[in-house]
Amino acid sequence: MSETVLTPPRENVEPKTLVEGAYQRLRRDIIEGVHPPGEKLRVEHLKDQYDVGAGTLREALLLLVTDALVVAQGQRGFRVAPISIEDFEDITRTRILLETEALRQSIALGGEDWEAGIVAAFHRLSRAEQKLGGQDDYVHTAAEDWEKRNRAFHDALIAASPSRWIRHFQNILYQQSERYRRISLFRRPIPRDVHAEHEALFDATLARDADRATAILAEHILRTLESVRHMPTDFFTSPAKH
Amino acid sequence: MSETVLTPPRENVEPKTLVEGAYQRLRRDIIEGVHPPGEKLRVEHLKDQYDVGAGTLREALLLLVTDALVVAQGQRGFRVAPISIEDFEDITRTRILLETEALRQSIALGGEDWEAGIVAAFHRLSRAEQKLGGQDDYVHTAAEDWEKRNRAFHDALIAASPSRWIRHFQNILYQQSERYRRISLFRRPIPRDVHAEHEALFDATLARDADRATAILAEHILRTLESVRHMPTDFFTSPAKH
DNA sequence: TGAACGAATAATCTCGAGAAAAAGTATTGA
DNA sequence: TCAATACTTTTTCTCGAGATTATTCGTTCA
Residue A42 included in any domain: yes
A129 and A67 part of one domain: no
Residue A8 has pLDDT above 60, yes or no: no
CB < 8 Å to B55, chain A:
55
Q: Whole-angstrom Cα distance, residue A76 to residue A71?
A: 11
Residue B228 included in any domain: yes
pLDDT (tens digit per residue) in A45-55: 999 999 999 99
> For all residues of chain A together, what is the average pLDDT?
85
Pairing mode, strands A78-80 and B40-41:
unpaired
- Kindly report the three-state secondary structure assignment for every residue of chain B: CCCCCCCCCCCCCCCCCHHHHHHHHHHHHHHCCCCCCCCEECHHHHHHHCCCCHHHHHHHHHHHHHCCCEEECCCCCEEECCCCHHHHHHHHHHHHHHHHHHHHHHHHHCCHHHHHHHHHHHHHHHHHHHHCCCCHHHHHHHHHHHHHHHHHHHHHHCCCCCCHHHHHHHHHHHHHHHHHHHHHHHHCCCCCCHHHHHHHHHHHHHCCCHHHHHHHHHHHHHHHHHHHHCCCHHHHCCCCCC
The domain of B23 spans 18-80
Residue B241 has pLDDT above 70, yes or no: no
Residue A12's SS3 state is coil
Q: CB within 8 A of B145, min separation 6: which ones?
A: B128, B131
Q: Whole-angstrom Cα distance, residue B32 to residue B87?
A: 18
R_g over Cα of chain B: 19
Cβ separation B74–A2 shorter than 8 A: yes
B108 and B224 part of one domain: yes
pLDDT for res A182: 81
Residue B239 has pLDDT above 50, yes or no: no
Residue B90 has pLDDT above 70, yes or no: yes
End-to-end CA distance of chain B: 32
Cβ separation A4–B98 shorter than 8 A: no
pLDDT (tens digit per residue) in B143-154: 778 888 999 999
pLDDT for res A4: 37
Place B242 in a pLDDT band, splitting at 50, 70 and 90: very low
Residue A173's φ and ψ, nearest 5 degrees, are -70, -40
Out of B53, B80, B107, pick the residue that ends a domain: B80
Interface of A with B in 45-64 (CB under 8 A): 55, 58-59, 62-63
Which helix (H) or strand (E) covers residue A78, if one does? Answer: strand A78-80
Residue B113 has pLDDT above 70, yes or no: yes
Residue B242 included in any domain: no
Pick the closest to residue B240 from B92, B2, B71 (CA basis).
B71
B63 and B122 part of one domain: no
CB < 8 Å to B81, chain A:
5
B73 and B100 part of one domain: no
pLDDT (tens digit per residue) in A127-164: 888 777 655 555 667 777 888 899 999 999 999 999 99
A29 and A120 part of one domain: no
Cβ separation B73–A1 shorter than 8 A: yes
For the ranges A104-108, A192-196, B136-140, the maximum mean pLDDT occurs at A104-108
CATH assignment at residue A35: 1.10.10.10
Determine the length of chain B.
242
CB < 8 Å to A17, chain B:
74-75
Query: With contact defined as beta carbons under 8 Å apart, do A171 and A8 qualify?
Result: yes
Residue B238 has pLDDT above 80, yes or no: no
Average the pLDDT over B64-88 and give the result: 94
Residue A1 has pLDDT above 50, yes or no: no
A114 and A60 part of one domain: no
Residue B7's closest chain A neighbor by CA?
A71
Average the pLDDT over B189-199 and give the result: 74
Residue B134 has pLDDT above 50, yes or no: yes
B127 and B34 part of one domain: no
CATH assignment at residue A167: 1.20.120.530
Residue A192's SS3 state is coil
A46 and A160 part of one domain: no
Residue A140 included in any domain: yes
Percent of chain B with pLDDT over 90: 66
Q: Whole-angstrom Cα distance, residue B111 to residue B159?
A: 10
Average the pLDDT over A102-108 and give the result: 97
Q: How many folded domains does chain B comprise? A: 2
Residue A71's SS3 state is strand
Residue A177 included in any domain: yes
Residues engaging strand D (CB under 7 angstroms): A 16, 40-45, 54-55, 58, 72, 74-78; B 1, 17-19, 52-56, 59, 75-76, 242
Q: Whole-angstrom Cα distance, residue A56 to residue B164?
A: 30
Residue B51 included in any domain: yes
A53 and A94 part of one domain: no
pLDDT for res B139: 60
A174 and A76 part of one domain: no
CB < 8 Å to B90, chain A:
162-165
Out of A61, A80, A99, pick the residue that ends a domain: A80
A93 and A68 part of one domain: no
Average the pLDDT over B118-124 and give the result: 96
Out of A80, A104, A121, pick the residue that ends a domain: A80
Q: Whole-angstrom Cα distance, residue A216 to residue A99?
A: 12
- Write the DSSP string, A79-145: EEPP--HHHHHHHHHHHHHHHHHHHHHHHHH--HHHHHHHHHHHHHHHHHHHHHTS-GGGHHHHHHH
Residues engaging strand C (CB under 7 angstroms): A 1, 17-19, 52-56, 59, 75-76, 242; B 16, 40-45, 54-55, 58, 72-78
Residue A97 has pLDDT above 70, yes or no: yes
Average the pLDDT over B10-37 and give the result: 87
Nucleotide nearest to B54 (CA to C1'): D15
Residue B55 has pLDDT above 90, yes or no: yes
pLDDT (tens digit per residue) in A34-88: 999 999 999 989 999 999 999 999 999 999 999 999 999 988 999 999 999 999 9
Residue A51 included in any domain: yes
Degrees, nearest 5: CA angle B178-B182-B140: 125
Which helix (H) or strand (E) covers residue A41, if one does? Answer: strand A40-41
Whether residue B87 lies within 8 A of chain A, CB to CB, comes out as yes
Give the residue nearest to nucleotide C22 (CA to C1').
A76
Rounded to 10°, the helix A194-206/A210-229 angle is: 160
Residue B156 included in any domain: yes
CB < 8 Å to A58, chain B:
59
B69 and B114 part of one domain: no
Whether residue A105 lies within 8 A of chain B, CB to CB, comes out as no
